[in-house]
Amino acid sequence: MRRLACLLLLLPAAALADERRSGSTYMSAETQAMQKDDTANPGMLWVQDGAALWSRKPAADKKACADCHGDAAASMKGVAARYPAFDAEQGRPVDLATRINLCREKHQQAAPFAAESESLLGLSAWLGLQSRGLPISPDPDPRSEPFREAGRRLYEQRMGQLNFACAQCHDDNAGKRLAGSVIPQAHPTGYPIYRLEWQGMGSLQRRLRNCMTGVRAEPFAYGAPEMVELELFLMSRAAGMTVETPGVRP
């Protein structure tokens, strides 16, 4: 399992029979169709909110995202496919939501958005859309490497009262059924996603917190270093797979 993950990191995806599957491929035909059709995909509502926020000034004398970055289709292309990315000022990798909030504070002198707020999910979905169809391309900065390794260790560590590691479900038992749910391979291809069960949008970290409470572990806080480490590791594991944001899940 670990060896496979390393191989996938070392070899170009085409060099081996790629058995990786996006979570969307396990979904029913109807849910897949809902994700593919922008007029039916509920996540597009958040994308539209994000697009509006992109060009709205937080106050009359402040700059909008677009005032610095211009056309997102050009300037933000591939960005979501690369995050989390190393930030020299923080001295550590930051996830996309944190990057958005750093811009809010530093460049817009505005209060950061709360974790899982509609605005933060909207902007994240809008940025995600600018990478839709592109390959996941993990942060190449070598300074991210120890954090990615820490993420791998977390992924392989058993936790919670039920004593499960992510890897035991998502590597060793992917494709099997946990009660009624098929266990996907845990590739972060579609985030943020619209989840029918939530009747709303949620980030990758919300998904990870669900998995942790599922095994009765204390979930890491939104934006916690461990969350970013897990995200970094999952992105490397999914390197080369196609970004599908905004995803839909049952």
Residues annotated as catalytic (active site), given as ranges: 211
Applying CB under 8 A, does 213 fall inside the site for another protein?
yes
Min dist CB 166 to another protein, Å, is 12
Min dist CB 165 to ligand HEC, Å, is 6
Min dist CB 218 to another protein, Å, is 5
The encoded tokens of residue 241 equal 């797979």
**Residue 249 partner contact from another protein, ligand HEC, none using kind-dependent CB cut-offs of 5 to 8 Å:** ligand HEC
Which residues are paired to 182 by β-bridges?
A: 177
Residue 245 and residue 36: Cα distance in Å, rounded?
A: 10
Residue 19 buriedness (CB in 10 A; 0-12 / 13-18 / 19+): exposed
| Contact pick of 127, 215, 227, 228 for ligand HEC (by CB under 6 A) | 215
Applying CB under 8 A, does 1 fall inside the site for another protein?
no
Question: What's the chain's length in residues?
Answer: 250
Q: Please choose, out of 20-28, 60-68, 127-135, 163-171, the segment that lies near another protein by the rule CB under 8 A.
A: 163-171
| Contact pick of 8, 23, 201, 236 for ligand HEC (by CB under 6 A) | 23
| Contact pick of 188, 192, 219, 247 for another protein (by CB under 8 A) | 219
Contact 183, 170 (CB under 8 A): yes
For 146-178, letters b (16+ CB in 10 Å) and e give ebbebbbebbbeebbeeebbbbebbbeebeeee
Mask for 174-193, x = binds ligand HEC (CB under 6 A): ----x--x-xx-x-x-x---
The encoded tokens of residue 192 equal 């943020």
Q: Find tokens 């750093």 and name the residue.
A: 102
Residue 117 and residue 155: Cα distance in Å, rounded?
A: 27
Applying CB under 6 A, does 166 fall inside the site for ligand HEC?
yes
Contact 247, 121 (CB under 8 A): no
**Residue 62 partner contact from ligand HEC, another protein, none using kind-dependent CB cut-offs of 5 to 8 Å:** none
Applying CB under 8 A, does 216 fall inside the site for another protein?
yes
For 87-121, letters b (16+ CB in 10 Å) and e give beeeebbbbbbbbbbebbeeebeeebbebbebbbb
Binding footprint of another protein on the chain (CB under 8 A): 157-164, 168, 172-173, 176-180, 212-213, 216-219
List of residues contacting ligand HEC (CB under 6 A)? 23, 155, 164, 166, 169-170, 178, 181, 183-184, 186, 188, 190, 207-208, 211-212, 214-215, 230, 234, 249
